[in-house]
Every structure is written in structure tokens, then in C-alpha cells.
């Protein structure tokens, strides 16, 4: 299951992503927001990130206008490795090299077609498992201790 969270600035892209996930037969849980009324991205980014960190959801996708603020929020949650991606190559590399478990996007910069391509790449790319990447991730995660 995929955790989803957005503020009003990411709402339209989140709706497009939800439709795309539904078409692919991928289950998701929407942690809000549920309309385009002005709201605070930390509320929804935190809820989605906590769902990933707890194991309730396998991965997460968080979206605000730029993707910056909501990615910062997600990365405050212990166990989350959130990557802000605005193109497909970054989505592939953050999965292969960083084993990112949350994807952030900016609804003001990424349209629905590209956004769904980024989502597909993020969800379909496996972590490489290479020792050098595992070592670096361990160092990064040890910083949370």
C-alpha cells in the first residue's frame, strides 16, 4: 500500500496519481488534504511519512506546490528517506542508490503525465543492494540514533 499526502498546492497532482495507481491496481491510503482549500503541508506530509515509517504502508508519495516543504517534513520522521524528484532519472537513482521510501513532487512544477511517469519509475525500481550503497544508507540512518 502507498501512503499519499498533499496540501492544496499538490492536490491536483495527487488526484492524478491516485487515478493512475487505481489503473495499475495499486492500493493507496490518502492522508489528505481532500480539497483545494488552503492548508498546511506539514499535517499531511507527516501523516503519510509516519504510515511508511510504521510499516502501515510500503512507500509514500507526498506533494506540495514545490515539493520542498513536504519533503523536509517527511524527512523529519525516523526511518523515512524522502527524495524530491522532478524527473524520471532522479526517481530511478534514488531507489537504486538511496533506497528512498518516500517520493516528493512539486505540483506547481510537475504535470500529471510526467508525475505519473516519475511515480511508475519510483515504484517499479528496486534498490540495487550494492555494498557501497548499503554502507552509505547505514551511515545516513545511523545519524537518527
Q: What is the mean pLDDT of the segment spanning 95-99? A: 98
Run of H or E including 80: none
Architecture of domain 2-142: 3-Layer(aba) Sandwich (3.40)
How confident is the model over 44-88, as pLDDT tens digits? 999 999 999 999 999 999 999 999 999 999 999 999 999 999 999
| All structural domains of the chain with their residue ranges | 2-142
Among 139, 116, 5, smallest CA distance to 59 is for: 5
For 51, other C-beta atoms within 10 Å of its C-beta total 23
Contacts of 21 (CB under 8 A, 6+ apart): 2, 27, 28, 119
- As given in the structure block, the three cell numbers for residue 70 are 513536504
| Total length of the chain | 145
Average model confidence (pLDDT) across the chain = 98
The residues facing 6 across adjacent strands are 63
The residues facing 63 across adjacent strands are 6, 105
The pLDDT of residue 26:
98
The residues annotated with a catalytic role in the active site are 64, 97
Q: What is the mean pLDDT of the segment spanning 14-38? A: 98
State the burial class of residue 2 (Cβ atoms within 10 Å of its Cβ: 0-12, 13-18, 19+). buried
- As given in the structure block, the three cell numbers for residue 1 are 500500500
Contact (Cβ atoms closer than 8 angstroms) between residue 62 and residue 36: no
What is d(CA 75, CA 19) in angstroms, rounded to the nearest whole number? 26
Amino acid at each position: 500500500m502507498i501512503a499519499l499526502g498533499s496540501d492544496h498546492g499538490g492536490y491536483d497532482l495527487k488526484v492524478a496519481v491516485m487515478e493512475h495507481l487505481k489503473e495499475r491496481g495499486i492500493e493507496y491510503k490518502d492522508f489528505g488534504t481532500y480539497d483545494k482549500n488552503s492548508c498546511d503541508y506539514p499535517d499531511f506530509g507527516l501523516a503519510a511519512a509516519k504510515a511508511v515509517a510504521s510499516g502501515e504502508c510500503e512507500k509514500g508519495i507526498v506533494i506540495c506546490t514545490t515539493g520542498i516543504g513536504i519533503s523536509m517534513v517527511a524527512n523529519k520522521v525516523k526511518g523515512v528517506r524522502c527524495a524530491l524528484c522532478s524527473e524520471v532519472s532522479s526517481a530511478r537513482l534514488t531507489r537504486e542508490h538511496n533506497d528512498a521510501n518516500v517520493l516528493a513532487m512539486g505540483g506547481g512544477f510537475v504535470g500529471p503525465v510526467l508525475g505519473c511517469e516519475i511515480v511508475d519509475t519510483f515504484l517499479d525500481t528496486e534498490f540495487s543492494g550494492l555494498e557501497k550503497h548499503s554502507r552509505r544508507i547505514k551511515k545516513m540512518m545511523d545519524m537518527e540514533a
